[in-house]
């Protein structure tokens, strides 16, 4: 998908790869042709200085190098057949990539986010990344079920890494999605729902990580999660506003 932490470097990368093409959802293609709206939206969230620090220059992708995808599309990558799966929930234009040869799924943000600092003897911990602006918890729950039907041996998260124990993690993700959906709905009438949702997320994560056996100090955990708390609460508040519109 074309959120800047995933697709923001595409144009710059293509300048170094003259034979490469970009395969992406039709909803995402206009934003790579002209990234002005993406840049404006992210600048509103992060501020101009942080945007420059994190993403640098965002370069447009020439139209001739864009290939619009469809659900189930097959891509031959040097003889390796990959299947593109439309996986809404985190974003409407999100795809996952299924590699049947390895039974691996490249999941972008659809399988949540997992920090290696939170790994314990109980395995990895993950949670949903509910960032703005196209969050749809119900669609996301259906997407997770669809991915499980493939019976993947591993998932490859952009944030971060290769994880096994897929079914346990899928149940953790679905639990988190249901929990934050219900918690957000309780604040639909608040004057500042994002602040209340952020407090709930903080309680969720701290409780989960204590139960998971994470021994880091509270301050360390909250610093690792600071941006996620901000963005995830904003995404849920945006979802509430869209429901009420």
Calculate Rg over the CA atoms of the chain. 18
- Are 84 and 110 in contact, with CB atoms under 8 Å apart? no
- Are 23 and 84 in contact, with CB atoms under 8 Å apart? yes
- How many residues would you count in the chain? 245
Q: Cα separation of 163 and 155, whole Å?
A: 5
Token look-up 């997992």 returns: 114
Of 229, 124, 137, give the one whose Cα is nearest residue 174. Answer: 137
Beta-ladder partners of 75: 82
- Across residues 169-192, what is the average pLDDT? 96
Q: Cα separation of 28 and 105, whole Å?
A: 21
- Are 73 and 25 in contact, with CB atoms under 8 Å apart? no
Q: What DSSP designation does 159 have?
A: T
- Across residues 19-44, what is the average pLDDT? 88
What the block records as the tokens of 185 is: 């709905």
- Are 180 and 236 in contact, with CB atoms under 8 Å apart? yes
- Tell me the pLDDT of the chain averaged across its residues: 94
- Across residues 193-214, what is the average pLDDT? 98
Query: 26-35, 70-79, 136-145, 226-235: which has the minimum mean pLDDT?
Result: 26-35
Q: Cα separation of 65 and 62, whole Å?
A: 6
- Are 235 and 135 in contact, with CB atoms under 8 Å apart? yes
- Across residues 204-227, what is the average pLDDT? 97
pLDDT of res. 165: 96
Comparison of pLDDT for 34 and 155, the residue scoring more: 155
- Are 240 and 132 in contact, with CB atoms under 8 Å apart? no
Q: What is the pTM of this model?
A: 0.91
End-to-end CA distance of the chain: 25
Helical (H) or strand (E) element with 172 = helix 166-185
Instruction: Say how many C-beta atoms besides its own lie within 10 A of residue 157's C-beta.
Output: 22
* Banded model confidence at residue 102, pLDDT cuts 50, 70, 90: very high
pLDDT of res. 7: 87
Question: Which pairing describes strands 161-163 and 104-108: parallel, antiparallel, or unpaired?
Answer: unpaired
Query: 8-17, 51-60, 149-158: which has the minimum mean pLDDT?
Result: 51-60
Using CA atoms, how far residue 42 sits from 35, 64, 115, 198, 217, in Å, is 11, 26, 23, 19, 31
Q: Cα separation of 160 and 194, whole Å?
A: 26
Percent of the chain with pLDDT over 90: 82
pLDDT (tens digit, 9 = 90+) per residue, 116-126? Answer: 999 999 999 99
- Across residues 156-165, what is the average pLDDT? 97
pLDDT (tens digit, 9 = 90+) per residue, 43-60? Answer: 877 788 888 888 888 889
């Amino acid at each position: 998908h074309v959120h800047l932490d995933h697709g923001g470097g595409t144009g710059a990368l293509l300048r170094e790869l003259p034979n490469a093409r970009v395969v992406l959802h039709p909803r995402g293609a206009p934003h790579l042709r002209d990234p002005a709206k993406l840049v404006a939206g992210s600048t509103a969230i992060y501020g101009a200085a942080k945007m420059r620090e994190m993403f640098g220059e965002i370069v447009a992708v020439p139209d001739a190098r864009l290939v619009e995808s469809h659900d189930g599309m097959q891509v031959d990558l040097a003889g390796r057949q990959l299947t593109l799966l439309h996986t809404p929930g985190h974003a409407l234009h999100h795809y996952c990539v299924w590699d049947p040869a390895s039974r691996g799924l490249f999941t972008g943000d659809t399988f949540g986010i997992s920090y290696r600092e939170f790994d314990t003897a109980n395995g990895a911990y993950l949670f949903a990344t509910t960032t703005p602006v196209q969050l749809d918890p119900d669609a996301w729950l259906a997407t997770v079920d669809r991915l499980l039907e493939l019976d993947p041996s591993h998932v490859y998260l952009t944030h971060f890494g290769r994880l096994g124990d897929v079914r346990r993690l899928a149940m953790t993700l679905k639990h988190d999605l249901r929990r934050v959906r219900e918690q957000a709905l309780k604040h639909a009438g608040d004057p500042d729902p994002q602040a209340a949702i952020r407090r709930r997320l903080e309680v969720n994560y701290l409780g989960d990580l204590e139960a998971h056996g994470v021994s880091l100090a509270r301050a360390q955990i909250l610093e690792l999660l600071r941006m996620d708390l901000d963005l995830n609460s904003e995404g849920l508040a945006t979802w509430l506003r869209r429901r009420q519109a």
